[in-house]
Structure 1
Amino acid sequence: MNKYFCGVIASCAIAFTQQALACTGITLQSQNGDRVTARSIEWGSSVLSTNLVVVPRGHATQTQTAQGPSLSYKNTWGYVGLSIEDKNFVVEGLNEKGLSAGLFFFPGYGLYPDYDKKQQDKTISDMEFVAWVLGNFDSVANARKGISDIRLSERYKGAGTVHYRIADKSGAQIVVEIVKGEMKIFDNPLGVLTNSPGFDWQMTNLNNYINLKAGTVAPVDWNGTALRSPGIGSGLLGLPGDITPPSRFVRAAFMVSTAPNLKSADETVLYSFKILNAFEIPIGLEEENKANPIGLLSATQWSSATDMTNGVIYYKTMNNARIRSVDLKTINFGQVTYQNLPIDKVKSEPIEKVVIR
């Protein structure tokens, strides 16, 4: 565990997470019905230690909250995930049944119930929830039932709260939030998620942008004066361009709603990365003093895309924009051993030299 990461989170809590954490999630579908979720993860204050974890069926886990121990379990299903700072802190992943789950920071609006030792076997820490979901459920429908009795508790005291996206290859998708100690589960028809405020507010806020449309506004006549757009894209006037969660939610929803349905899952995966490129946050935007933490090339430290239909998870990082993939169909989750691998074997960007003769 990175001591700086834990110490900063615990001491700066909500104020820190509002400034340094930003995640954007989208969902696309190909013409043949293949479904892809994709997301970015931003952390602007230090380099996150991110690993690729391969977790077999039957893997035993003892979870832990800030106040005490929580539930223990053995995986029913194997999965591949991306973890940050601790191998159990899976923030995005896909299991062998095509269920996808992801964690998104949710500072200032969530509130977990008080820890109750008597309900230890129904309690799990916020940072270990995604791993538990991936290891135990094969569909959104079953996950919705299975999580209803679960109590979320903070892994680190004062570290703010998170919310979750759970999706499967049928197209079902839900958002899970803990507000005032109560679990709220929302259907997510657009497949978009960012951070705070709450998901229901974000969806309502979209009504303020119904004037937006793809393309260019037609010429108009004002009392005999012909007016026309100076260039393409005037239908997007009013689309917010800042990096706050509400603005990113609106942009993501608009881009998803106007995205073409491409022929294959492969094309859809590549297109999802193109959309996410529009949400990358360069160093310097989040802090007033132009701070540049050592080794941090981008506040967007990595992005991933998950082909739930065909069982493949893809990712690229700030160190290497080349897209890499893990095909879960090639893994025997009944025999594979638990693995915790660095997300970047080499932290450098391959550059192809073009030789002119």
Structure 2
Amino acid sequence: MCTSLSYTNQAGGHFLARTMDYTLDFGAQILFIPRHYKIDADVAPFTTKYGFLGAGRKLGHEMFGDGVNEHGLGVAALYFPDNAHYPAAPAPDKFGLSPQDFIAWALGNARSIADLRQQLPKLQFVAHAANLINVVPPLHFIISDRSGQTAVLEPTSDELRLTADPVGVMTNSPDLDWHLQNLSNYALLSNATPKTPAVGGFLPKTIGPGTGAIGLPGDYTSVARFIRTVFLKRFATGATDTRTTLNLLQLILNSVTLPKGVKQMTAGPSDYTEYRAYMDLDARAYTIELYENPGDLQQVRLTAELLNSATQPVAYPLNRKPQVHQLTAG
């Protein structure tokens, strides 16, 4: 079902990270889309202004689960069941877009959250089944940029609006307002060891460090994953550079990563984390970590050479073989 968070490190670097959780492997690879490229989207074609890359695949046309563009805008899609609303057709003055094509449109046409906010009034999502899964995917989106801002786009009506996300975390349904209200139930959780009050004439002892987090939910519901991610993001020692940031984001996402079998769906196979993605919004770098190959970070950067020379999409096949490094004394 997916968990995501934005993060700013102590050097001022901005990142967007996510787990991609689903019941099947989309077969995604890192896919680059050049400037001025026509995408034959489900409802109507559009042409990109900016180059971008992310976890994508060509399914009739190029589609993405997340990505980052040349201006440092990052976007990720997450499931939003029982809440997403899509009209059957766009209004006459709107550009119709299927929800599964929004990431490619946004990364190809917006420079920042502010720019995207200005363009949204001309867009309207339209119910259109996605290739491969053959259903209309109920999606909402987390968006971050190099300003450090984070917003969510939750299509609950015909009109599309961005909502500021003050904690920089998103999971799945319910909507962001509900998750933020629920956060009040956990506001007193802490990384410190609280003092215990006397009970009558008896002074209970704590069971040691970590007791400030008693009550932190540990299940895999979207509600629990939201609270757990906010807690870890809040209290984890800050990262100082890109390397330590990637390491920290891996550790945070470890707490919400789903091995196959632990979250059985009502019908069909279990949900699992098919990949985890880390978007460096300042370096315009996209890094992916596969279920089959955890710990092997595979990265592509939006270099000037790539942006200025490529005129067609470029696919980067991923290594899916587990890596074992033999150590020798020396």
State TM-score, norm by structure 1.
0.84
1:104 to 45, 56, 78: 78
- Residue of structure 2 equivalent to 1:122: 95
Instruction: Write the deviation string for residues 157-198 of structure 1: whole angstroms up to 9, x where unpaired.
Output: 753410011111111221001113332321012110111011
SS of 2:203's equivalent in the other structure is: strand
Which one of 65, 88, 91 corresponds to residue 65 of structure 2?
A: 91
Q: Quick check: 2:85–2:156 contact (8 Å CA) kept in 1?
A: yes
State the distance in 1 between where 2:160 and 2:196 align: 50
Distance in 1 between the 2:51 and 2:187 partners? 42
Q: Report if the CA contact (8 A) 2:99-2:137 is conserved.
A: no
Asked whether the equivalents of residues 177 and 183 of structure 1 are also in contact (C-alpha less than 8 Å), the reply is: yes
Give the RMSD, CA atoms, in angstroms: 2.3
* Equivalent pairs, count: 324
Describe the shift of the 1:85–1:107 C-alpha distance in structure 2 as closer, same or farther (beyond 3 A).
farther
Q: For 2:325, what is the secondary structure of its paired residue? A: coil
In 2, the alpha carbon distance for the partners of 1:289 and 1:244 equals: 14
Is the 1:303–1:315 contact (alpha carbons within 8 Å) kept by the matching residues of 2?
A: yes
Equivalent AA in structure 2 for residue 33 of structure 1: G
Matching of residues 281-296 of structure 1 within 5 Å: 281-287=258-264
3-state DSSP of counterpart to 2:234? helix
Tell me what 1:299 maps to: 272
Alpha-carbon displacement from aligned partner over 1:250-282 (angstroms, at most 9, x marks no partner): 111111121322221221122111101111111
User: Structure 1 residue 245 and structure 2 residue 218: aligned?
Assistant: no
Which residue, 116, 123, 138 being the options, matches 1:143?
A: 116
How far is the alpha carbon of 1:331 from its aligned partner?
4.0
Is contact 1:320-1:344 (8 Å) kept? no
Any idea what the Cα deviations from partners look like across 1:122-168, whole Å, max 9, x if unmatched?
A: 11111010001000111110011112221001331753410011111
Amino acid at match of 2:313: Q
Residue 8 (structure 2) aligns with: 29
Contact 2:29 2:316 in 1 (8 A): yes
Write the letter of the residue equivalent to 1:185. L
Corresponding position of 1:15: none
Please tell me whether residue 61 in structure 1 is matched to residue 34 in structure 2.
Answer: no
| Equivalent residue in structure 2 for 1:231, among 208, 213, 224 | 208
How far off is 1:76 after superposition? 0.9
Q: TM (normalized to structure 2)?
A: 0.91
Aligned residue in 2 for 1:43: 22
Listed as ranges, the gaps of 5+ residues in structure 1 are: 1-21
Local SS of the residue matching 1:88: strand
Equivalent pairs: percent with the same residue? 24
Secondary structure, in 3 states, of the residue corresponding to 1:208? helix
Corresponding residue for residue 195 of structure 1: 172
